[in-house]
Amino acid sequence: MKRYSAFSLLRNALSHNRNWRPAWRSPAPKKSYDAIVVGGGGHGLATAYYLAKEHGISNVAVLEKGWIGGGNTGRNTTIVRSNYLWTEAALLYEKSMKLWEGLSQDLNYNVMFSQRGVYNLAHSLQDMRDIERRVNANRLNGIDAEVVSASELGKAIPYLNVSPDARYPILGASLQRRGGVARHDAVAWGFARAADALGVDIIEQCEVTGIEVKNGKAVGVLTTRGSIASDRIGVVVAGHASVLAKMAGLRLPIESHPLQAFVSEPIKPVLDTVVMSGAVHGYISQSDKGELVVGAGIDSYNGYGQRGSFPVIEHAMQAIIELFPIFSRVRMLRLWGGIVDVAPDACPILSKTPVEGLYFNCGWGTGGFKATPGSGWVFAHTMARDEAHELNAPFSLERFTTGALVDEHGAAAVAH
């Protein structure tokens, strides 16, 4: 891998940028691999990268049915935080946060991780209790967190409506200063480039159409580009997890729903942090390009259509204007939807399955982007060692049978 730097930019500029190498190759699939990762989104590419980097397994294929980063990786609102309530979830997301903090340098690709802080607003006394509880738990878990009063909020976020006359007055907020946003496409590309450099084959336009199981063991996959053998198959396909599970005869506690988001036209910097509100169901940040990036609530029905219903957008808009009345005249430029795979406890599944050598990474619901590096890191461990890392052990499929759910609905009441 030729390193990226200001110097390489200069040097290549002198040769009219003709000597840049592809960020990743486009190899034809081999007959077999030591491990296959199904799904070339951020999580899948991260899994492949850490398989190669941390576990020395570099004879790996990432099979992507479309183009890498084209699913939820390229469709989310890019929020990164780790201030989850339950220790199990908090430690997993905090692992991810730590990886984020050095990711651009580790990948030698600027993923523009920007720690501009994440506020979760409280609009009721119960919201405040929940925030106190979560902030206290975060601190004991070694995660930065603080409670911010309404008047401090007014100073920190200039145009936030902290008036006590608001329909749902803001009573305070939690703040994670290390939280923020990143450039979503760059995360996929950066992992792809780094994984490729370690020998991973990233194979686009290669749809998995079947999972071959013999005597309870996974032996390979059927794809639109032929069958590929491997006894270690990790499925990381977000919204389509149930479809892939069915290929292996499995049923998952997952439902796929549309989740929508929209951006405004670019405006001059006006919001330099991330603001989320569960009570009024809206969250917003401003991208480096100047667009206000707004996430809407989840659509109620099952859907694989990458589009949702317009009233959901209307509600999100009303919420944003409730929080920031000055944005009423800013104009919406584009809206889109992704497919989120929601588990009953709003927590992911990072698990072995009843099929030996078949692993599933799914159920991230509305908040998977933030977990991208950590998810790949623990899932690579799980695939390499055939056992969960202690960080993802609580997120096995067994929890649905034993009842040991990690219920993060409080933290995930608003999509993020």
Partner 1 sequence: MLLIECPWCGPRAETEFSYGGEAGITRPRDPDALSDAEWADYLFCRSNPRGNHRELWNHAHGCRRWFGVERDTVTYRISRSFELYPAAVPETDAALQSGPDNSNGGD
Partner 2 sequence: MQAAQANRLREGGRIDRSRPLKFSLNGKAYTGFAGDTLASALIANGVGLVERSFKLRRPRGIFGSGAEEPNVIVQVGEGAEAQPGLPATRVELRDGLIAHTARGWPSVRFDIGAINDLFGRILGAGFYYKTFMYPRSWWKYYESAIRRSTGFGRAPAASDPDAYEHRNAHCDVLVAGGGPAGLMAALVAAKSGARVILADDGTEFGGSLLACGEDVAGAPAADWIAGIVAELGEQPDCVLLPRGAVLGYHDHDFLTIAERCDSGEPVERGLHPPVRERLWRIRAKRVILAQGGFERPLAFCNNDRPGVMLASAVSTYIHRYAVLPGRRAVVFTNNDSAYRTALDLAVAGAAVAAIVDSRPGGGGELAIRARDLGIPVLQGRVVCDVTGRHRVKGVSVAEWSGDSWENISKTAHFDCDLLAVSGGWSPAVHLHSQAGGQLDWSEAQLCFLPSRARQCHDSAGAGNGKQSLGDCLIDGLRAGTEAVAKLGLTPIAIEAPDAGSAREAPIEALWRVPAEKEADRCLKQFIDFQNDTTVADIRLAVREGYRNVEHVKRYTALGFGTDQGKLGNINGMAVLADVLGKTIPEVGTTTFRPVYTPVRFGTVAGESVGALYDPVRQTALHEWHEAVGAPMEVVGQWHRPWYFPRDGEDLHTAVARECLAVRNSVGAMDASTLGKIDARGPDVVKFLERIYTHNVGRMKVGRCAYGIMLGEDGMVMDDGVMARLGENHFYLTTTTGGAAGVLNWLESWLQTEWPELEVYLTSLTEHFSTIALAGPNSRNLLEKLGCDIPLDRESFPFLTVRAANLAGMPVQLFRVSFSGELAFEINIGSHLALQMWRKVMDAGREFDIIAYGTETMHVLRAEKGFIIVGQETDGSVTPVDLGMNWLLSKEKDFLGKRSLARPDCLREDRKQLVGLLSSDQRTVLPEGTQLIEQTACGVLETRPVPMCGHVTSSYFSPSLGHPIALALVAGGRARKGDNVFAALPGREPLPVEVVSPAFYDPKGERQNV
Residue 216, sorted as left (phi over 0), alpha (psi -120 to 50) or beta, turns out to be left
Q: Which is nearer to partner 2, 153 or 219 (CB)?
A: 153
108 phi/psi in degrees, rounded to 5: 55, 45
Environment class of residue 164 by beta-carbon count within 10 Å: exposed (0-12), middle (13-18) or buried (19+)?
exposed
Select from 24, 93, 191, 364 the one that contacts partner 2 (CB under 8 A). 24
360 phi/psi in degrees, rounded to 5: -120, 140
How far is Cα 216 from Cα 42, in angstroms, rounded to an integer? Answer: 29
Which span (239-247, 355-363, 381-389, 403-411) binds partner 2, by CB under 8 A?
Answer: 403-411
Which span (14-22, 56-64, 129-137, 394-402) binds partner 1, by CB under 8 A?
Answer: 394-402
Which span (3-11, 248-256, 347-355, 364-372) binds partner 2, by CB under 8 A?
Answer: 3-11
Q: Does 4 bind partner 2 (CB under 8 A)?
A: yes
Q: Which is nearer to partner 2, 13 or 28 (CB)?
A: 13
How far is Cα 337 from Cα 335, in angstroms, rounded to an integer? Answer: 7
Q: Which is nearer to partner 1, 51 or 397 (CB)?
A: 397
Q: Does 269 bind partner 2 (CB under 8 A)?
A: yes
Residues 95/70, Cβ–Cβ less than 8 Å = no
Binders of partner 1 among residues 320 to 359 (CB under 8 A) are 344
Q: Does 318 bind partner 1 (CB under 8 A)?
A: no
Give me the least distance between CB of 130 and partner 2, in Å please. 7
**Residue among 318, 241, 213 at smallest CA distance from 41:** 241
Among partner 2, partner 1, none, partner that 227 touches (CB below 5 to 8 angstroms by kind): none
Single-letter residue type at 72? N
Give me the least distance between CB of 374 and partner 2, in Å please. 15
Q: Which is nearer to partner 1, 159 or 301 (CB)?
A: 301
CA dihedral 111, 135, 118, 76 (to 10 degrees): 60
Binders of partner 2 among residues 52 to 71 (CB under 8 A) are 66-70
Among partner 1, partner 2, none, partner that 385 touches (CB below 5 to 8 angstroms by kind): none
Residue 79's CB is within 10 A of a number of other CB atoms, namely 23
Query: Which structure tokens are listed for 204?
Result: 């686009």
Neighbour-count burial for 5-38, b at 16+ CB within 10 Å, e otherwise: eeeeeeeeeeeeeeeeeebbeeeebeeebbbbbb
Q: Does 311 bind partner 1 (CB under 8 A)?
A: yes
Q: Which is nearer to partner 1, 102 or 305 (CB)?
A: 305
DSSP designation for 138: H
Select from 128, 243, 270, 332 the one that contacts partner 1 (CB under 8 A). 243
Environment class of residue 80 by beta-carbon count within 10 Å: exposed (0-12), middle (13-18) or buried (19+)?
buried
Binders of partner 2 among residues 206 to 245 (CB under 8 A) are none
Select from 222, 325, 356, 393 the one that contacts partner 2 (CB under 8 A). 325
Q: Does 70 bind partner 1 (CB under 8 A)?
A: no
The number of angstroms, rounded, from the C-alpha of 389 to the middle of its chain's C-alpha atoms is: 19
Q: Does 209 bind partner 1 (CB under 8 A)?
A: no
Helix (H, G, I), strand (E, B), or coil: what is residue 63? strand
Q: Does 142 bind partner 1 (CB under 8 A)?
A: no
Among partner 2, partner 1, none, partner that 195 touches (CB below 5 to 8 angstroms by kind): none
Mask 245-264, x = binds partner 1 (CB under 8 A)?
Answer: ------xxxxxx--------
Select from 309, 356, 389, 393 the one that contacts partner 2 (CB under 8 A). 309
Give me the least distance between CB of 220 and partner 2, in Å please. 26
Q: Which is nearer to partner 1, 108 or 309 (CB)?
A: 309
**Residue among 342, 368, 378 at smallest CA distance from 55:** 378
Q: How many residues does the chain have?
A: 416
Give me the least distance between CB of 161 and partner 1, in Å please. 26
Query: Which structure tokens are listed for 340?
Result: 């989120």
Q: Does 300 bind partner 1 (CB under 8 A)?
A: yes
Query: Which structure tokens are listed for 416?
Result: 């993020």
Q: Does 304 bind partner 1 (CB under 8 A)?
A: yes
**Residue among 79, 85, 75, 70 at smallest CA distance from 367:** 79
Among partner 1, partner 2, none, partner that 302 touches (CB below 5 to 8 angstroms by kind): partner 1
Q: Are strands 226-229 and 217-223 parallel, antiparallel or unpaired?
A: antiparallel
Q: Does 317 bind partner 2 (CB under 8 A)?
A: yes
The site for partner 1 (CB under 8 A) is made up of: 240, 242-243, 251-256, 300-305, 307, 309-311, 344, 400-403
